[in-house]
Amino acid sequence: MSMKKLLCFVMALSGCLFIAFSCSKKNEDELNGGATCDSANMKFTANIKPILQSFCFSCHGNGLSQNGINFDTYAGVKAVADNGKLVGAITHAAGFSPMPQNASKLSDCNINKIKDWVNSGALNN
């Protein structure tokens, strides 16, 4: 292969790789149809409980208590929020069991909603 053909091949391959990698991870706003993620002023009943019901209740709700963690009541959620296990688990932080177990990590938006609620005192509102 001549040097000119090799250079053209390398440039074409580089361009394809650039396009592929730049488009491989859409930002969350685009995936949500352009909607932005509002994670300010989160309320337990309106914002946090529905996330937990969707992603956590199969193991930690409806009477189930995996590893002593039960989200059926606000008190159960508050205990895990206050000891740091809730945020540690959903952010997959070192030293915590990544949750939801055997499933994809929560979206950045849902994680930020839970973190805002916890950082605001994990109120029963």
pLDDT, tens digit, for every residue of 48-96? 999 999 999 999 999 988 889 999 999 999 999 999 999 999 999 999 9
d(CA 47, CA 120): 13
- The residue extents of the domains of the chain are 44-119
pLDDT at 6 over 80: no
Region 28-51 average pLDDT: 80
Beta carbons of 55 and 103 less than 8 angstroms apart: yes
Q: What are phi and psi of 69, to 5 degrees?
A: -105, 120
pLDDT, tens digit, for every residue of 86-125? 999 999 999 999 999 999 999 999 999 999 999 999 999 9
Beta carbons of 86 and 77 less than 8 angstroms apart: yes
pLDDT at 31 over 50: no
Among all chains, which residue has been given the structure tokens 């409806």? Answer: 62
